[in-house]
Amino acid sequence: MSAPVNVDVKLGVNKFNVDEAHPHIVIKGQPDSAVLELLTRACPAGLYKKQEDGSVRFDYAGCLECGTCRILGLDSALESWEYPRGTFGIEYRYG
């Protein structure tokens, strides 16, 4: 029998250099709430978090740069999606 995989532990091996001055993903002022809801389930890093009041909170720190939210939400929920500027973003590590 194989051991269960702990995703948080696996993701914790990676290193992030967060660009505090320039968010590489920006949510629209009036996002499509159904799409935001979808992103709470689609983001592999769990960065779109549903709050108790039903709103969705997003923090781009910890982004895996997979592009899932770009494909699902650009124009409807997201104002912009770019890769982080040079030297910023995720540095993948295996472990």
User: Kindly report the CA angle at 87 between 25 and 28, in degrees rounded to 5?
Assistant: 5
Three-class SS of residue 56? strand
Pairing of strands 89-91, 15-17: antiparallel
78 binds ligand SF4 (CB under 6 A): no
Closest distance to ligand SF4 from the beta carbon of 33 (Å): 17
Q: Which is nearer to ligand SF4, 19 or 65 (CB)?
A: 65
Residue 36: is it exposed, middle or buried by C-beta count within 10 angstroms (0-12/13-18/19+)?
buried
Q: Does residue 12 bind ligand SF4 (CB under 6 A)?
A: no
Q: Is 67 in the site for ligand SF4 (CB under 6 A)?
A: yes
User: In this chain, which of 43, 77, 84, 89 binds ligand SF4, going by CB under 6 A?
Assistant: 43
* Footprint of ligand SF4 (CB under 6 A): 25, 43-45, 47, 63-69
